[in-house]
Amino acid sequence: MNRKTAQILIPVLSIMSALVVSMLIIIIAGRDPIMIFEKMLQGTLGSAYGTGQVLFRTTTLILVGLAVALPFKVRLFNIGAEGQLQMGAFAAAMTGAMLPPTLPSLSAVSLCVVAAMGAGACWAILAGVLKVRFGVNEVIATIMLNFIAQGITGYLLTYHFAVPSTVHTTPVIDAAVIPSLHSVTGFFAKSPANFSALLSPCVALLFWVILFKSRFGFEMRATGLQPEAAKYGGINAGMHTLTAMGIGGAAAGLGAANILLGYKHYYEAGMTGGIGFTGIAVALLAGAHPLWIMLSALFFGLLEYGGLTVNAYIPKDIFMMIEAITILLVISFSALGKRMHQ
Amino acid sequence: MGVAVRLSGISKRFGNFAANSNISLSIEEGSIHALVGENGAGKSTLTKIIYGMLQPSEGEVYIQGKPVHFTSPREAINAGIGMVHQHFMLIPSLSVAENIMLGDEHASLFQRLPLKEIKARIQKHALEFGLPVDPEAMVENLSVGEEQRVEILKLLFRNASIMIFDEPTAVLTPSEIEHLFATLRTLRDNGKTIILITHKLDEVLAVADTISVMRKGEIAGTIPAKSTTKLELAQMMVGRSVLLRVKNPPPCPGKTVLDIKDIGFCTTHGETKLHNLTLKVKAGEIYGIAGVEGNGQSELLQALYGLLPAGTSLVGEVKLKGKSLIGKNPAEITLMGVSLTPENRLRHAVILDYPVSGNLLFGRHRERSFHRGIGFNSDVLNRYTLKMIAEYDIKCTAPATQPLSSLSGGNQQKIVLARELNRPDISLLILAQPTRGVDIGAIETIHNKIIEARDRGIAILLVSSELEEIIALSTRIGCMYKGAIVHEFTAQEVALKRNSEHEFKKEIGIHIT
């Protein structure tokens, strides 16, 4: 078995085994797994609305997956996509609410998106600075920054910006809304799928170009693979740590724009709902490869929304278990594959 | 005398790759049996099988006539087999006596350790086999030679009758090597069986009784040491005729390129690594630094390439054509026309997961001629890759996709040299251990390329622990000891003494210890 086939075989094998395990769990819970999966398929890809929902979730997952994947290539484990997502969403909401209502749509959306990306990037770079300057492990730094982001957004929302007797901010101006696919094309019923869905594959492609086709990516991957050799090669490893985190954080911010500008239109407590953590799973399943991330995000998008559609029959926690089991299997199988190679 | 170790039809496969195939070999009791061969010839796989670290795919191992099936080194040790690894397995913060009995304490959990008894035994063995070492000394304060003696004492304590030595001379000074050989002979005369793994042919001829040459996982031949020559062994190892000594036409040095004046360097622990080191390298000459590893060579290289660890500083002057190199980073130093092949190739010079072409580019990827748009110009890169592969005889199948890790050490090193020697506008080339871990066949190519670079007018600073290499290539030789150049041989002296290599080696040996 060569490396290429192993790279594809391992995730496929993990997903299959995870499905088998989940079927067993469903049987233990007293339900017919075939029926559950049938309902799930009907609820998701079987309907226009369901497909739209999956598409919407996949969009965010591609972006947060990329936010984890790029730092991963420089040997940084970005656990902070959730915090970066929250900061990005809050920044977009604030910007969108404060813009003059007469602003043309293109500039309003652009300004909000830039604010979301900037906030996400700054939050991620902060972890990078802590790492480069003070040697703080990025896992710890990003986890702590998640808490801090939660605190800041929570405080600002509750004490300053919430519309009285609600838990959300004032909505962004109409011009700052990313139009839904339904409103323009008529497809996908009234689902939250919006034009960001078209953007995210382009971003994934861009990340692929940066990583594998540019000089910058050549240096970046070298830094991740062999940091000491990179130093001898005259590569500034600290700079790559910061940019990888920054670009990753910006992608997370873009994911926040999808949710906020494309769907909710205001910032609400708990609106990111841990999707930043699912991003870690997306990146791991895809081996941090920007193009595979699209498929991996689709898989998790299906599970995320599919779990909701069959919630009446079986708790959606089962699907959270499938997600987690898949990741554990991917990691175990890759380790096993490596050992077999030796 | 009987047969201590007999191997019968041993094969070991890793996947599709056969590291050993159908090896049959008898090792006489009470003899020194050397296994020689190039890197990747299967020497270490074979010894790992004897020592129980690997299990053969096929074949049988017989120890003192009995078939054995070791599943771990522990079983091999119990059967009387001991191994001195290339990297010593000692605990620096324990004393010699404690290290020797570690794992074999002869005491129950709360009982006092029988240290006194052990010390007496150490003294006895030390006298008997010429292994002087203070049992109470801490291992961290010992020299490399002394550490090796501790390892040998460990084997004697465990009553090993078959002793395997993996490249034991790699880290020793010439006089320590003489000492080790004397010990090996005494051990043999006391009935011990010695298996010596090495790639240094001179040493094998000096100490071994029988020599087995390995090539591509097979035994190419087993011959008594008395009836063979270095050239014959080299040919058996490579499988074709080889030139052991490169032609070294007289150089014509030009102006001074590198000027190092009185540099000194201390580590953050306050250890002095470089001390008043002064040397000059002229254009078109090779300045060889001879010395035992650990005498400041690594620090000198780091200092020259702007890689000293953070929080330390260098005193003194380092100038390249009049411009100071101190305080500059590797990218800036490269731009000034300096090129380096680092000591530790796998860690510092290449990216193992990158393909051959990526590695030929790595470190030179900032050069404009390779650029196109935001990426690289694949036409230029392909042409350059193919040219280097042809010129340096690099053996690979798919340069654009094959990861470097799948190539042999010699081919990897040729890639590093091809890349560094061909940098445009270089004036100084720093070569650290350019042929370490490289096959004899490849050494020939590499040495020729180094001489060629010299004749193009490049100043070359050569650091190598192989004295033969220093003697064969250098125009002038500086002997490095404890962070300083303690003696320098002029160009006339080197040219004259090169013809009597053995004496010259001894003379250098005096200056570096």
Candidates A221, A225, A229; nearest CB to B349 = A229
Residue A107, pLDDT score? 95
Provide the number of structural domains found in chain B.
2
AA identity, residue B216: K
Q: Are residues B162 and B304 in the same domain?
A: no
Q: Are residues B88 and B169 in the same domain?
A: yes
Q: Are residues B22 and B155 in the same domain?
A: yes
Residues of chain A contacting B362 with CB distance shorter than 8 Å? 222, 229, 233
Q: Are residues B182 and B300 in the same domain?
A: no
Question: Which residues form the domain of B228?
Answer: 3-238
Residue B243, pLDDT score? 64
For the cut 60, the answer to whether the pLDDT of residue B411 exceeds it is yes
For the cut 90, the answer to whether the pLDDT of residue A2 exceeds it is no
In a domain, B376, yes or no: no
Residue B108, pLDDT score? 67
Q: How far is B341 from chain A (nearest CA, A)?
A: 9
Candidates B347, B349, B376; nearest CB to A215 = B376
Which residue on chain A is closest to B15 by alpha carbon?
A: A341
Measured between CB atoms, does B347 come within 8 Å of chain A?
yes
Residues of chain A contacting B352 with CB distance shorter than 8 Å? 225-226
Contact across the interface for A234 and B331, Cβ inside 8 Å: yes
Model confidence pLDDT, tens digit, residues B129-169: 888 888 888 888 888 888 889 999 988 888 899 999 988 88
Residues of chain A contacting B334 with CB distance shorter than 8 Å? 234
Model confidence pLDDT, tens digit, residues B275-291: 999 999 999 999 999 98
Contact across the interface for B363 and A219, Cβ inside 8 Å: no
Q: How far is B438 from chain A (nearest CA, A)?
A: 20
In a domain, B244, yes or no: no
Residue A15, pLDDT score? 86
In a domain, B365, yes or no: no
Q: How far apart are CA A287 and CA A275, in angstroms?
A: 18
Q: Are residues B151 and B213 in the same domain?
A: yes
B224's enclosing H/E stretch is strand B218-224
In a domain, B374, yes or no: no
- Identify residues of A whose CB sits under 8 angstroms from chain B CBs: 209, 213-216, 218-219, 221-222, 225-226, 228-229, 231-236, 341-342
Q: Are residues B266 and B232 in the same domain?
A: no
Average pLDDT, integer, range B216-245: 83
Q: What is the ipTM of this complex?
A: 0.84
| B184: CATH | 3.40.50.300
Percent of chain A with pLDDT over 70: 98
Residues of chain A contacting B353 with CB distance shorter than 8 Å? 225
Of A215, A219, A223, A240, which to mutate for an interface test with B (greatest number of B Cβ within 10 Å)?
A: A215
Q: How far is A288 from chain B (nearest CA, A)?
A: 16
In a domain, B411, yes or no: no
Residue A13, pLDDT score? 87
In a domain, B471, yes or no: yes
In a domain, B130, yes or no: yes
Candidates B14, B331, B351; nearest CB to A229 = B351
Q: How far is B211 from chain A (nearest CA, A)?
A: 30
pLDDT tier at B41, thresholds 50, 70, 90: confident
Model confidence pLDDT, tens digit, residues A76-125: 999 999 999 999 999 999 999 999 999 999 999 999 999 999 999 999 99
Model confidence pLDDT, tens digit, residues A284-312: 989 899 999 999 999 999 988 988 898 88
pTM: 0.80
Contact across the interface for A232 and B305, Cβ inside 8 Å: yes
**Residue A285 near residue A296, CB atoms below 8 Å:** yes
Contact across the interface for A234 and B349, Cβ inside 8 Å: no
Q: Which of B238, B272, B297 is the last residue of a domain?
A: B238
Q: CA dist A81 to A65, B473, B476, Å?
A: 9, 56, 59
Residue A342, pLDDT score? 47
Taking all residues of chain B, what is their mean pLDDT, rounded to a whole number?
Answer: 88
Q: Are residues B51 and B176 in the same domain?
A: yes
Taking all residues of chain A, what is their mean pLDDT, rounded to a whole number?
Answer: 91
In a domain, B155, yes or no: yes
Domains in chain A, CATH or no CATH each = 1-31+314-342 (no CATH), 55-312 (1.10.3470)
Model confidence pLDDT, tens digit, residues B357-380: 999 999 999 999 999 999 999 999
Contact across the interface for A229 and B14, Cβ inside 8 Å: no
Q: Are residues B193 and B286 in the same domain?
A: no
Model confidence pLDDT, tens digit, residues A218-266: 999 999 999 999 999 999 999 999 999 999 999 999 999 999 999 999 9
Q: Are residues B34 and B110 in the same domain?
A: yes
Contact across the interface for B331 and A226, Cβ inside 8 Å: no
Q: Are residues B183 and B97 in the same domain?
A: yes
For the cut 80, the answer to whether the pLDDT of residue B171 exceeds it is no
Residues of chain A contacting B371 with CB distance shorter than 8 Å? 215
For the cut 60, the answer to whether the pLDDT of residue A1 exceeds it is no
For the cut 60, the answer to whether the pLDDT of residue A187 exceeds it is yes
Model confidence pLDDT, tens digit, residues B451-498: 999 999 999 999 988 888 899 999 999 999 989 999 999 999 999 898
pLDDT tier at B198, thresholds 50, 70, 90: confident
Residues contacting residue B426 through CB under 8 Å, at least 6 positions apart: B337, B338, B339, B420, B458
Q: Are residues B264 and B230 in the same domain?
A: no
For the cut 80, the answer to whether the pLDDT of residue B408 exceeds it is no
Q: Which of B208, B238, B268 is the last residue of a domain?
A: B238
Model confidence pLDDT, tens digit, residues A47-81: 999 999 999 999 999 999 999 999 999 999 999 99
Q: Are residues B126 and B200 in the same domain?
A: yes
Contact across the interface for B365 and A215, Cβ inside 8 Å: yes
Residue A340, pLDDT score? 64
Measured between CB atoms, does B395 come within 8 Å of chain A?
no
